[in-house]
A = this chain, B = another copy of it.
Amino acid sequence: MEITKRGGKWNMIQLYGKRRKPEEQRKGFDNSFTFDHRFLSLLMLRLHLLRLSLSPVSPPKVGNMIKPTAFASGLTRSNLCPKIRSTMATFSTASESPKLLFRQLFEKESSTYTYLLADVGHPERPALLIDPVDKTAERDLSLVNDLRLKLTYAINTHVHADHVTGTGIIKTKMPSVKSIISRASNAKADLLVKGGDRIQFGNLFLEVRPTPGHTVGCVTYVTGDGSDQPQPRMAFTGDALLIRGCGRTDFQGGSSEQLYKSVHSQIFTLPKDTLLYPAHDYKGYTVTTVEEEMQYNPRLTKDQEMFKNIMADLNLPYPKMIDKAVPANMVCGLQDLNDKHSEPLAV
């Protein structure tokens, strides 16, 4: 819920004695599917105080913390469990309330979707790109620049076989950007992630879910759970789940059995209204939901045996870009990364 000055009067936030300063309004681009939880947080604080007055005081439980590496720019506080985080959020300054800026971008030749996410509620406006493409990397960086974002991570869902990642070009132009890919992919990158890791950008984060089957190292990145994270949740599924389809399973350690299990255990278990954003679409769709795919996906609604048969009978041609794309993508599009040591995200 965006709380702003409109039509000459302040709305909602004014009810609780909190008025946005004019200079705060002018600052930056606070747009594109944004959400603002200050108002919500204030109400939650009221409820929290009410609870405290009704029940004996007990220390809140703290969930497992994943320590950020020297590279990770996220605040440690935000790695606490959701309950703690939302309570703490009520004490954060207005400029630190998480607020998602989201852009979907398309590369026409390989029909690849790249996603830009940023926390524009954070003073540094930290951003990340998911699945950038070499041919459109300049466009993406231009947009990052226009929106005055600080690009922190360039992330791949897997080692793509149909295009060369834009990570290499991005790192050449912006050396501070860290590349990320899964450890299971056996590819080189600045940071390697595994299931359960969190990728923090400002006060927002992506959760890593392993979804192998299209390739051995595929992961799905899911926006965080909790009241201070975007609702509905958003999952970036790579080629594991496409809109009314899925990625092929006959190369790069693919396995139809594994893909079926991945989608059913890691994606279809998300809330039904979770927005699913794939790495590709060939029919012009841009987004789907868990509920839709559980009902209409022509492959993954079948039982496992039938799915296996469907995938075995696809008889697809040899991927025309694979011999060029995979070697480049194994080093995240940057040949000289080969000699560098990749660090895990969580140490």
In the assembled complex, the CB of A44 is this many whole angstroms from the nearest CB of chain B, namely 8
Contact present for B2 and A106 (CB under 8 Å)? no
Contact present for B289 and A31 (CB under 8 Å)? yes
CB 8 Å contact bits of A127-150 with B (1 = contact, 0 = none): 000000000100100010011000
Selected contact of A232 from candidates B2, B40, B106, B296, CB within 8 Å: B2
CB 8 Å contact bits of A280-319 with B (1 = contact, 0 = none): 0001111101011001100000000000000000000000
- Given A106-B106, A286-B106, the answer on whether A1 and B296 have CB atoms closer than 8 Å is no
Q: Which residues of B contact A143 (CB under 8 A)?
A: 285
Residue on B with the closest CB to A102? B287
- Given A105-B285, A106-B284, the answer on whether A2 and B273 have CB atoms closer than 8 Å is yes
Task: Give the A interface residue count (CB, 8 A).
Answer: 49
Q: Which residues of B contact A43 (CB under 8 A)?
A: 12, 15
- Given A106-B284, A284-B107, the answer on whether A275 and B232 have CB atoms closer than 8 Å is no
Bound form: Cα–Cα A15–B50 in Å: 11
Contact present for B271 and A6 (CB under 8 Å)? yes
Selected contact of A283 from candidates B34, B139, B295, B296, CB within 8 Å: B139
CB 8 Å contact bits of A220-256 with B (1 = contact, 0 = none): 0000010100011000000000000000000000000
Bound form: Cα–Cα A296–B4 in Å: 23
Copies per complex?
2
Contact present for B285 and A29 (CB under 8 Å)? no
In the assembled complex, the CB of A269 is this many whole angstroms from the nearest CB of chain B, namely 13
Chain A interface mostly: loop
Q: Is A11 among interface residues, defined by CB-CB distance under 8 A?
A: yes
Selected contact of A284 from candidates B2, B139, B291, B292, CB within 8 Å: B139
Bound form: Cα–Cα A15–B106 in Å: 42
Q: Which residues of B contact A91 (CB under 8 A)?
A: none
Closest 6 CB pairs of A and B: A106-B284, A31-B273, A1-B1, A31-B289, A104-B286, A105-B284
20 contacts between A and B (CB under 8 A): A1-B40, A7-B225, A29-B289, A30-B273, A31-B232, A31-B273, A32-B275, A32-B289, A33-B33, A34-B232, A34-B273, A105-B286, A106-B284, A106-B285, A106-B286, A107-B284, A108-B284, A136-B283, A146-B292, A146-B296
Query: A-side interface residues toward B, CB under 8 Å?
Result: 1-2, 4, 6-7, 11-12, 15, 29-35, 40, 43, 47, 103-108, 111, 114, 136, 139, 143, 146-147, 225, 227, 231-232, 271-273, 275, 283-287, 289, 291-292, 295-296
